[in-house]
Structure 1
């Protein structure tokens, strides 16, 4: 996932991981709707 790569130094931060997981969930939902 590009978000994880972009925020890689932040991965050890628990709150940052939650944000990344939230973004990935949103992007996954958008992809299902638009079917990229």
Structure 2
């Protein structure tokens, strides 16, 4: 996944069997959980 694909709304993906959620914080930095 490219960072430009991550917008304000959370994006869920599965990588290497792990479920991940990416989003941008209030400063515009990509975060992952």
Greater radius of gyration (CA): 1
Structure in which a larger fraction of residues adopt strand: 2
TM-score bracket, normalised by the shorter chain, equals: under 0.3
TM-score when normalising by structure 2: 0.24
Structure in which a larger fraction of residues adopt helix: 1
TM-score when normalising by structure 1: 0.24
